[in-house]
Amino acid sequence: MPTIAEQILSAKVGRPVEPGEIVRAPVDFAFGHDITLPPAIEEFERLGVETVFDPERIAVIPDHLVPAHNEYAAELYGACEAFAAEHGTVFYPQGSQGQEHVVVPEDGLVKPGDLMVGADSHSCTEGALGAFATGVGSTDLAFAMAFGWLWLRVPETTRVEFVGEPDPWVCGKDLVLAALAELGVDGAVSHAIEFGGPVVRDLPMDDRFTLANMAIEAGAATGIVEPDGITRAFADAHAGGEYAIYVPDDDAEYATVATIDCDGMEPRVAVPNLPANAVSVSEVQTEGVEIDQAVIGSCTNGRESDLRAAAEVLDGSEVAEGVRLIVTPGSRRLERLCVEEGWTATFLDAGATMENPGCGACFGQRTGVLDAGEIAVSTTNRNFTGRMGHPESEVYLASPAVAAASAVAGEIAHPEEVA
């Protein structure tokens, strides 16, 4: 019987679908960013259509290389700006920019029950809304923008249940790292990961976005958090209008069911060089891992609760000598909130560098690039070799509280030791 992913695709197609089936699926919303959209524009122009299928359901979101740091980045931005102007799409210009997977739900561009595609691997983030959200290549994005549909394979579903009572410092990042340690980086290839259980039902939306965001790190096509009243409240506040809520049938059939026991769980850290290499923070502390840089932000952890947690840990403290701390709010709204709440002052007083809203240091191409032998602790989603700079650098993945505490301690630390 249907899982959430199967129910959404069935509703879009207009008939029951089964895992493994290839379906012609209408798209509710599509977007690209300043690296993936320009090649999609080239493909779009080859299709011979006059304009996009619906400008209100397509967004152009420059967030990776903004402001432009070289001529190539400026060229990419210019191509995005020109395309948005020509076709009248939703556009986030410099000065109003934000990280795509933060602004899309924040601005109500995707709702529960939608089918969304984005030319970015972490487009699964929006599955936290109870939507089917998946990443596509630039060629597929071009087709979706032109015709409003794509061929999609109906995925099998892996169910991940979180039970028990975790440590008070545990957040969505720790939960998804624990799930990745259980599943592995290839444990759900092309599947939908359906997140649920008692612990998830208590999670605020910010943490649910983190869960869905890192489904791709297990190879999944999408991550979907079982929607409930918290989902409805977020959708009503940010999107409004009508939307569809789908929950799994009692006899839904899953390819795999993984139960994560959270009793006594402490914050998790993924050690180099895979997100699934997740262990407890105390295990890493025994190694005495000194850091050169700490990064707080990204599509994984650049939201309100993430910034608040970091500010609470950093309040009254200073970054250790020799450590660089970069803080990147996920949107202009969050940037302003940091000022209003006094978090910006806290970050600056601690010695942090405040980045403009966007992807920041996550992908190692514009800011916060690591040199050979350097070590970073980061709230981002990938710690592959060379992900944030030199192939001989190393990245440890952790929550905002752990990253902030580590910046103060000068080595990977538990936040209770600093806050």
pLDDT digits over 244-272, tens only?
999 998 899 999 999 999 999 999 999 99
Taking the C-alpha atoms of residue 380 and residue 360, their distance in angstroms, rounded to an integer, is: 10
pLDDT at 418: 86
Tell me the C-alpha distance between 187 and 399, whole Å.
22
What pLDDT was estimated at residue 156? 98
Measured CA to CA, the distance from residue 85 to residue 117 in angstroms comes to 21
Architecture of domain 269-417: 2-Layer Sandwich (3.30)
pLDDT category at 135 given cuts 50, 70, 90 is very high
Question: What is the per-residue pLDDT across 106-118, written as a single tens digit (0 to 9) for each?
Answer: 999 999 999 999 9
φ/ψ of residue 260, rounded to 5:
-100, 115
Three-state secondary structure string covering the chain: CCCHHHHHHHHHHCCCCCCCCEEEEECCEEEECCCCHHHHHHHHHHCCCCCCCCHHHEEECCCCCCCCCCHHHHHHHHHHHHHHHHHCCEECCCCCCCCHHHHHHHCCCCCCCCEEEECCHHHHHHHHHCCEEEECCHHHHHHHHHHCEEEEECCCEEEEEEECCCCCCCCHHHHHHHHHHHHCCCCCCCCEEEEECHHHHCCCHHHHHHHHHHHHHHCCCEEEECCCHHHHHHHHHHCCCCCCCCCCCCCCCCCEEEEEECCCCCCEEECCCCCCCEEEHHHHHCCCCECCEEEECHHHHCCHHHHHHHHHHHCCCCCCCCCEEEECCCCHHHHHHHHHHCHHHHHHHHCCEECCCCCCCCCCCCCCCECCCCEEEECCCCCCCCCCECCCCEEEECCHHHHHHHHHHCECCCHHHCC
pLDDT in tens, 306-318: 999 999 999 999 9
Mean pLDDT of 91-97: 96
User: In this predicted model, which residue has the larger pLDDT, 62 or 419?
Assistant: 62
- What's the CATH code, domain 4-259? 3.30.499.10
Residues 268/398, Cβ–Cβ less than 8 Å: yes
Give the pLDDT confidence score for residue 419 in this predicted structure. 77
* Tens digits of residue pLDDT in 297-351: 999 999 999 999 999 999 999 999 999 999 999 999 999 999 999 999 999 999 9
* Interatomic CA distance for residues 194 and 87, integer angstroms: 36
Q: How far is CA 29 from CA 8, 17, 58, 245, 323, in A?
A: 14, 21, 6, 17, 41
Domain ranges of the chain: 4-259, 269-417
pLDDT band at 1 (very low <50, low <70, confident <90, very high): low
Question: Has this prediction a pTM greater than 0.85?
Answer: yes
Asked if 45 and 145 count as a contact pair (C-beta separation under 8 A), the reply is: no
pLDDT at 362 over 80: yes
Do domains 4-259 and 269-417 share one topology? The answer is yes
- Percent residues over pLDDT 90 in the chain: 98
Peptide bond into 415 cis (omega under 30): no
Over pLDDT 70: what percentage of the chain?
Answer: 100
Write the pLDDT tens digit of every residue in 20-55: 999 999 999 999 999 999 999 999 999 999 999 999
What's the rounded mean pLDDT across residues 348-376?
96
**b or e along 83-121 (b: 16 or more beta carbons within 10 Å of the residue's beta carbon)?**
bbeebebbbbeeeebbbbbbbbbbbbbbbbbbbbbbbbe
Cβ within 8 Å of residue 287, ≥6 positions away:
none
- Both tokens of 196, joined, read 């649920």
